[in-house]
Chains A and B, each alone.
Chain A
């Protein structure tokens, strides 16, 4: 048995479960259905590896060699998330798979805005005033399937004063 993490559509709870080391695509989908209480339109969901690959139908997880994705999977009805990011009044458009992590999104955004590494250490992605898009979050966890898009703000961490 191996520990894996399931990330779901428009849901920020990460489910930690144990599966057989030779679990396949169908078993993982069944676990997603159970953990995220998916009862309808099951065929509309796509299973993703963490970051940027669709998990091919019929494929075994092969957890012993599944190091790069660190045992993280995602199901979502969007194949891509259209993402606009605003920084210092400038907005740029991006497209990510739902399983893209905050870490990857932040790196991509910083690169596109041509921000120097020294200036980037203090920057955060925010979904809104109250929610930080953390490094380990999946972008699909903030997005429903109706529009498949998200607006983010790239901001400096705040100075606490009062």
Chain B
């Protein structure tokens, strides 16, 4: 039986906003083996080659209690099924580098107001970044749009 968090995630990725990103080549679900095991989902986000030469940055999301709880994600090595090696994380712009910072939190998450692991200890983010600070009304596309902008501007 599917849990409510999975049902909500499936609903959100079936909606126009997520599907528009898929059709536009902005992001897509990793659907090849290994199979998705909820609450883990891998989604790639298109990136400028100058920031990330493979141009598809895979993020492994942990989505238990979605969307009541914020997602958390880290760059993922799709071949080896591991967190991406620190030396090849996306980098290159003043706004990108602090978010994709493998030196932070043992490279387990992105440093952003959307991310469950980054939110604790950053109460100021709620007023500093109200448009990004995760709320239960948000959808996965909010996270993806932010990351897509970072990787493409």
CB–CB B16/A157 < 8 A = no
Stretch at the interface among B27-35, B76-84, B120-128: B120-128
Chain A at the B interface: SS class:
loop
| B113 contacts across to A, CB distance below 8 A | 160
Q: By the criterion CB–CB under 8 Å, are A129 and B125 in contact?
A: no
Among A26-34, A36-44, A130-138, the one that faces the other chain is A130-138
Q: Which residues of B contact A132 (CB under 8 A)?
A: 131
Determine whether the beta carbon of B153 is less than 8 Å from that of A162: no
Q: Assess the B124–A131 pair: CB atoms within 8 A.
A: no
B10-23 CB contact bits vs A (8 Å, 1 = yes)? 00000111001000
Interface size class of B (residues with CB under 8 A): 20 to 34
Residues of B within 8 A of A122 (CB): 95, 153
Considering the complex, give the chain A residue whose CB is closest to the CB of B26: A135
Partner of A160, one of B15, B17, B95, B152: B95
Interface residue? B94 (CB, 8 A): yes
The reply to whether B16 and A160 contact each other, CB–CB distance below 8 Å, is: no
Report the count of interface residues on A (CB-CB < 8 A).
Answer: 18
Tell me if B38 is interfacial: C-beta within 8 Å of chain A.
Answer: no
Q: Is the CB of B130 within 8 A of A129?
A: yes
Asked whether any CB of chain A lies closer than 8 Å to the CB of B69, the reply is no
Report chain B residues within 8 Å CB of A129: 130-131
Whether B129 is near chain A, meaning CB under 8 Å from some CB there, is: yes
Residues from chain A with a CB closer than 8 A to the CB of B153 are 121-122, 157
Taking the nearest CB of chain A, how far is it from the CB of B133, in angstroms?
9
Cβ A14 vs Cβ B16 within 8 A: yes
If A14-B17, A16-B16, A134-B145 touch, whether A160 touches B99 (CB-CB below 8 Å) is yes
Chain A 123-162 interface mask (CB, 8 Å, partner B; 1/0): 0001001111010100000000000000000000111111
Give the Cβ gap from A108 to chain B, nearest Cβ, in Å: 19
Name A's B-contacting residues (CB within 8 A). Answer: 5, 14, 16, 121-122, 126, 129-132, 134, 136, 157-162
